[in-house]
Chains A and B, each alone.
Chain A
Amino acid sequence: MPEPDGDLNRKAVAQALASLGDTGHLSLVEVAADGVTAFRIHRDANGCPRGRSWSATWTDLAGERGWDADPDGIREAVLRAARVSPPTAEVILAAASPGGPRAEQALDWLRAAHPGAQVLRAGAPIAALVREVMVDDPLTRSYELVVMLADPGTDRLRLTSRRLFPIGARPGARTRVAVRCEPGGAYGTAFAVVTWQGPEPRLLSVQSAPIPPGRYEVTAELVRPGRVRFTGLPELSPDPRDWDRLVAALPDRLPGGTGPAHLVCAVEVCGTDDLVAERLSRARQVINRSAGELGGPLRVSLVAYAAHSYDGSAREFPVRAMTWQADAGEALDALGELEEQGAIARGYPYHPHAAQLEDMLALVVRRLDWDDPTPVVLLTVGGRSPHPPRTDLSGVLPCPHRHDWRRPLAALEQRPGTVLGAICDQAGDRAHPAWHRLGAAALAHLEAVDVHGLAADLGLVAPSPGHLPFPLLDETE
C-alpha cells in the first residue's frame, strides 16, 4: 500500500529536528498494534543529532494481570514508556495503522498527558523515517579543517582552520582543499575537523595516516552530520589523540634552514651589579649561539638602556646603540664594554621600578630600515616597566621625553618579518604588560633560559628536526 502520509510525516519530523536547540530534546512516541516505541533525540556538543529508542509491547506494559485489570496502572506504565523528559521536550505522537483498541487507548492517554503534541498517522513503522531524517539533518555548525599556515616572511607557523561546509550543508556536499603534507611523526598527518560556534572551535573528528610528503588535492565529503570523508589521500583511520596532544606536537616554524637575520639585543643596564652581569651574559649566549648556527649572515645591533633621572642635578645615562647592524664579533666586543662598565648608577635618585624601555623602543623604531625585508629579531633583556607618557595612577613618573612605549611597540608588532622575544627577570605575573608583548614570540625568565630553544623560537637557529602534525594549507593555486 502506498504511503500518502510518508512525505508529510518526514517533513514534520525534519522540521521538529531542525528547530531542536542545543539543550532540548525531541521525543517521538509511536503507538502501534503491538506496543509503544519511544525515540528521544538531542544534539551533541558539535550540534549533531543523537537518538535513542526504547520499545515495550502491550504485554510488557500490562503484565500478568491483563489489559483491563488495572487501567490506571497501565496508563502510568504507558506514559513512562513514552520516556518524555520535560520540560525541554517537544513531543510528536505517531499512530501506526492499523493500530487496534489498545493503541487507540494509549494514544488517548498520551494526548491527554501531552496536549501540545503533534499527532501523525503512519502507515509504516517510523524508525526508518527517524533515522533518515537524522542523517539528512542540515549542519547547525560550520565544519572546518585544521590546517597550518606559514608566514611568508618568517616561516613562522600558525594554526588555523579552513571552511569545509557551511551551516545548513547536507550530506553529499563536497569541498576541495589543496594541502601540502610534511612528515607527520608517529601518527602521520592528522585531518582534524572542528566545528565553530562562538569564539572557540571544538574538535569533531581526527583521522590520520602516514602520508608521503607532497601536494594533495583533497576532497572532503559530508557523509552525515558528524562524519566527513576525505578522498584524494591514502586511506585515513581514526586517530586517538585529543586536541591537547595534537597541538603539543606543534613546532612553531617550518622545518629547514634559517636565512639572514638582523638581531637587535636591547639590554637594561641598571639595577644590581649581579643582575646586570646576568643579563649581559644571556645576551652574549644568544648572540654566540645565533652566530654559530644561522644559515645566512647575522647582523647584530646592541642597545643599552638604563633608568631615567628625576633629579635635575644628576645627568642620566641615555639610551644608546653600542653597535648597529654590525657583525657578531663587533657586537660581542661592545657587550664586553658594557660588562666592564657594570651597572649604571648614574642619575640617582632615579625611579626604582622603571627604566627607559620606551626610549629604547623609540630608538629601535627610528633606526630600523623599514624597506629592508631581512627578518628582524628584537630581543629585550631586562625587567623594569616602561615609564608612562604622562602621570597616571601607576605611580611611575612619566618619561621626560614623553615617549609612549605603546606606539613604537605597536609599530614593531606590525612590521612584516619582525619577531619579538624577551628575557625578563620578573616572574610572568609580576612583569609589566609591556614585557608580554616584548616577548610575544618567546618570553624566558632570566634565571632559566634554554638558549637554544629561545634562539629557535626566534628563528635564529633551526629547530630540532620536527614533524608537522597537520596539513599545510597550499595557497599557491
Chain B
Amino acid sequence: MQPEPARGRPGHNISMWGAPGSGKTTLLAALFIALARRNDDWKIIGSDPASSDYLIEKTNALSRGKVFPEASMTLERYHWTLIGPAPRRSGFWGRKAKPGPPTRIGISMIDAPGGLFGTGRRPAGAPSGVAAAADGAGDPRRQELLDNLEQSRGIVFLFDPIREFTLGDAFDHMHAPLTRLAERMLAAGEFLDGKLPHHIAVCVTKFDDPRVLETAEKRRLLTTDIDDPHGVPRVTSEDAKELFRELCQVSASGNADMVLNALDQFFHADRIRFFATSSIGFYIDRRTKMFDWDDFQNMLPGEADEDSRIRGQLHPINVVEPMLWLGQRLAAIRPATEVS
C-alpha cells in the first residue's frame, strides 16, 4: 500500500529538540546501528525511499567513515517504522503460544537545525553562515517547525551537558519553543488542564564524554546490566533525572535547573522520562571486547580545523530506548494506522 502523501502519515509524529550541536542528527544516524546491536527483534525500516536512503547513508558515514554529520541547515522529516516482536498470546492450559502480528510503531522524525529552537538571537560564537543568518524570528522554517511540534505528540529533547558547561543555553533553546507551543495548544483548546498533551523523552547526550561519565560515577549513578557482554556502565532512567540535575549544577549560565522547572510546568509528570544517552558509546577494544575504565573514550579530536572523528566501533547507549518508550506510550493512547 502506498502511504497517503498529504495527510495521515502512519504512526506518530516525534520531533527532536535541542540546541545546535547537541547531537540530534547523530542520534538519528546511530538509530539503525543501535537497533542492529540489540539482541531483541526490533528493527527499523524506512517508510519511504528518502527515509531509507537517509538511514543507509548516515549509518555508513558514521560507522565506516567515522565522521559525525555536518551541522543541519534544513528541516528534515523522516518516516520510519519500528517493527518489534509480536506480543505473545499465551495459550490456554499451557498449549503452545501463538505469535500475534508484529508490533509496529510508525514514527515521523523531524530533525531541525538547533538554531531554530533559539530565541531568534544569533548565539555568541555561532558561525555567521547562511543558516545562522536566516535564523531570525521571521524565518519561515521556524513556523514550519512549530506546525510540526503542534502535530506531534512526542518530543525527544536533547540536553548537551558539554555545551551546558561552556555555553549554558539549553534553557533558552527549550523555553522559546515551549511557550510558543503552549500558546498554540491553548488556542486549539488542548491545554485544558494546564499541561501539554505531549510525552517528552529528555536525553542527556554525550554520556560517553569523560566529564559526563565522571559526574555519574561521583554520584554513584552507574550500573552495569548483568547480561551486557561488554560490561558498559549505564545510568537507569530512574537515575538519569538525578544525573541531569547534577549536570545542571555546573551549567555555565546557572539556568539549567530552570529546564527542570519548565518540564514540570508544561508536562504531566508521568509523561516525562530521562535517558543518559550516547550515540557513539564507549570505545570497546576489539580483542578484549570489554569496557575498560582506563581507556573508554570513543572520540578522536580532529587535526587543526578538522572535525572530531569516531575512534572505534559505535556502541550506542539509550538511543533506541527513548524512541521505543515514546512509540509505545503513543501507541497505547492512539494505536497507529498499520502500514503494510
Contacts and interface: CB of A to CB of B under 8 A. Distances in A.
B295 A391 contact: yes
Interface string B208-231: 001100100000000000000000
Contact of B210 (A311, A353, A395): A395
B311 A310 contact: yes
Nearest to B66: A349
Interface string B284-311: 0010000001111101111110100101
Contacts of A352: 301-304, 306
Nearest to A396: B301
B294 A390 contact: yes
Interface string A297-334: 00000000000001110000000000000000000000
B294 A393 contact: no
Contacts of B296: 391
Chain B interface mostly helix, strand, loop or mixed?
A: loop
Contacts of B306: 352
B307 to A, nearest CB: 12
Chain A interface mostly helix, strand, loop or mixed?
A: loop
A393 B211 contact: yes
Q: Pick from B211, B294, B296, B299 the residue with the most CB of A within 10 Å.
A: B294
A402 B293 CA distance: 12
Contacts of B211: 393
Contact of B297 (A312, A349, A395, A402): A395
A468 to B, nearest CB: 49
A392 interface: yes
B214 A353 contact: no
Interface string B260-301: 000000000000000000000000001000000111110111
A188 interface: no
A397 interface: yes
Nearest to B308: A395
B293 A390 contact: yes
A42 B51 CA distance: 86
A397 B297 contact: yes
A389 interface: yes
Nearest to B298: A397
A353 B301 CA distance: 8
Given A310-B311, A393-B211, A351 B300 contact: yes
A398 B309 contact: no
B41 to A, nearest CB: 31
A391 B311 contact: no
B295 A397 contact: yes
A353 B311 CA distance: 15
Given A390-B293, A402-B294, A349 B300 contact: yes
A391 B294 contact: yes
A310 B286 contact: no
B295 A398 contact: yes
Nearest to B309: A349
Interface string A248-283: 000000000000000000000000000000000000
A389 B311 contact: no
A135 B51 CA distance: 95
A131 to B, nearest CB: 63
A351 B295 contact: no
Contacts of A395: 210, 297, 299, 301
Contacts of B309: 349
B210 A391 contact: yes
B304 A312 contact: no
B279 to A, nearest CB: 18
Contacts of A398: 294-295, 297
Q: Pick from B300, B304, B306 the residue with the most CB of A within 10 Å.
A: B300
A351 B302 CA distance: 8
Nearest to B211: A393
B247 to A, nearest CB: 14
Contacts of B294: 389-391, 398, 402
A310 B300 contact: yes
A170 B304 CA distance: 66
Contacts of B312: 312
Nearest to A398: B295
Contacts of A389: 294
Interface string A16-47: 00000000000000000000000000000000
Nearest to A400: B295
A213 B198 CA distance: 92
A65 to B, nearest CB: 71
B325 to A, nearest CB: 30
A311 B293 CA distance: 19
B309 to A, nearest CB: 6
Interface string A361-395: 00000000000000000000000000001111101
B301 A393 contact: no
B86 to A, nearest CB: 39
A76 B301 CA distance: 78
Nearest to B287: A312
A395 B213 CA distance: 13
Given A349-B309, A398-B294, A398-B295, A393 B214 contact: yes
B67 to A, nearest CB: 10
A409 B99 CA distance: 66
Contacts of A353: 301
B68 to A, nearest CB: 13
Nearest to B294: A390
A200 to B, nearest CB: 37
A311 B299 CA distance: 12
Contacts of A393: 210-211, 214
A105 B300 CA distance: 88
Contacts of A402: 294
Interface in A112-151: none
A312 B286 contact: yes
Given A312-B286, A393-B210, 17 more contacts: A310-B300, A312-B312, A351-B300, A351-B301, A352-B302, A352-B303, A353-B301, A391-B210, A391-B294, A391-B295, A391-B296, A392-B210, A395-B299, A397-B295, A397-B297, A397-B311, A398-B295
Interface of A: 310-312, 349, 351-353, 389-393, 395, 397-398, 402
26 contacts: A310-B311, A311-B311, A312-B286, A349-B300, A349-B309, A351-B300, A351-B301, A352-B301, A352-B302, A352-B303, A352-B304, A389-B294, A390-B293, A390-B294, A390-B295, A391-B210, A391-B293, A391-B295, A393-B211, A395-B297, A395-B299, A397-B295, A397-B297, A397-B311, A398-B294, A402-B294
Q: State the 3 A-B residue pairs at the shortest beta-carbon distance, nearest first.
A: A390-B294, A352-B303, A398-B295
